[in-house]
Structure 1
Amino acid sequence: MGRIAAHTQEQVFEAADKLAVEGQEVTPTALREVLGRGSFSTLGKHIEAWLRMRQAAPTPVILEMPEIVKVAFAQCWQAAAAEAGKEIAAIREKADAEIKGVKRRLDEALSEVERLEEEANVDAARMETTNSELAATQVAATGAAAREAALLATVEQMRQQVDAQQIELARVHGEVEAVRNQHTAEAARLADQLKDQKTRCVDLEAGLTATRKGEREAAAQLGRAQGELDALRTQVASLNDIVRSLAAQDDKKGKKAQL
Structure 2
Amino acid sequence: MRNYVTQAEVHSAADDINETGENPSVKAIRKTLGRGSFSTIQHHLKGWIPKGQRDSLPPVPPAMMIVVETLAADIWHLSLQTADGVAAEITEEVQRGRDEARSAADALAERVDDLQTKALEANALIATLTQSIAEREEQIQAFQEWGRSIELELAKKSAEVEVLRRTLTEFGVGLKVEAFDADEHEYD
Q: Considering the TM-score relative to the shorter chain, is it more than 0.5? A: yes
* Superposition deviation, residue 167 in structure 1: 1.1
Residue 98 (structure 2) aligns with = 138
Residue 127 (structure 1) aligns with = 87
* Superposition deviation, residue 126 in structure 1: 0.3
Residue 169 (structure 2) aligns with = 209
* Superposition deviation, residue 198 in structure 1: 1.4
Residue 95 (structure 1) aligns with = none
Tell me the alpha carbon deviations over residues 216-255 of structure 1, each in whole angstroms, 9 at most, x when there is no partner. xx32x2x1xx1xx43xx221x68xxxxxxxxxxxxxxxxx
User: What residue identity is the alignment partner of 2:181?
Assistant: T
Q: Which has the higher contact order (CA 8 A, sep 6+)?
A: 1
* Superposition deviation, residue 110 in structure 1: 1.4
Greater mean deviation of Cα atoms: 125-134 or 100-109:
100-109
User: What residue identity is the alignment partner of 2:78?
Assistant: E
- Looking at structure 2, the residues matched to 115 and 184 of structure 1 have their Cα atoms a distance apart, in angstroms, of 100
Residue 163 (structure 1) aligns with = 123
User: What residue identity is the alignment partner of 2:108?
Assistant: E
Which of these residues, 116, 139, 146, is aligned with residue 179 of structure 1? 139
Provide structure 1 residue ranges, at least 5 long, that are not aligned to the other structure.
Answer: 1-97, 213-217, 239-259
The 5 A counterparts of 1:4-23 are none
Q: TM-score with structure 1 length normalisation?
A: 0.45
Q: TM-score with structure 2 length normalisation?
A: 0.61
User: What residue identity is the alignment partner of 1:234?
Assistant: D
User: What residue identity is the alignment partner of 2:135?
Assistant: E
Structure 1 residue 111 corresponds to structure 2 residue 58: no
Residue 13 (structure 2) aligns with = none
- Looking at structure 1, the residues matched to 162 and 63 of structure 2 have their Cα atoms a distance apart, in angstroms, of 143
Structure 1 runs of 4+ aligned residues shifted over 2 Å read: none
Which of these residues, 215, 234, 244, is aligned with residue 181 of structure 2? 234
- Looking at structure 2, the residues matched to 210 and 138 of structure 1 have their Cα atoms a distance apart, in angstroms, of 105
Structure 1 residue 147 corresponds to structure 2 residue 94: no
Larger Rg: 1
* Superposition deviation, residue 201 in structure 1: 2.2
Residue 257 (structure 1) aligns with = none
- Looking at structure 2, the residues matched to 144 and 174 of structure 1 have their Cα atoms a distance apart, in angstroms, of 44
- Looking at structure 1, the residues matched to 152 and 90 of structure 2 have their Cα atoms a distance apart, in angstroms, of 91
Equivalenced residues, count: 127
Which structure's residues are more often helix, by fraction?
A: 1
User: What residue identity is the alignment partner of 1:144?
Assistant: A
- Looking at structure 2, the residues matched to 103 and 165 of structure 1 have their Cα atoms a distance apart, in angstroms, of 92
User: What residue identity is the alignment partner of 1:124?
Assistant: D
Residue 190 (structure 1) aligns with = 150
The 5 A counterparts of 1:55-66 are none
- Looking at structure 1, the residues matched to 181 and 66 of structure 2 have their Cα atoms a distance apart, in angstroms, of 131
Q: Compute the RMSD of aligned alpha carbons.
A: 2.2
- Looking at structure 2, the residues matched to 139 and 200 of structure 1 have their Cα atoms a distance apart, in angstroms, of 90
- Looking at structure 2, the residues matched to 169 and 211 of structure 1 have their Cα atoms a distance apart, in angstroms, of 62
* Superposition deviation, residue 143 in structure 1: 0.2
* Superposition deviation, residue 138 in structure 1: 2.0
Secondary structure class of the residue paired with 1:234: coil
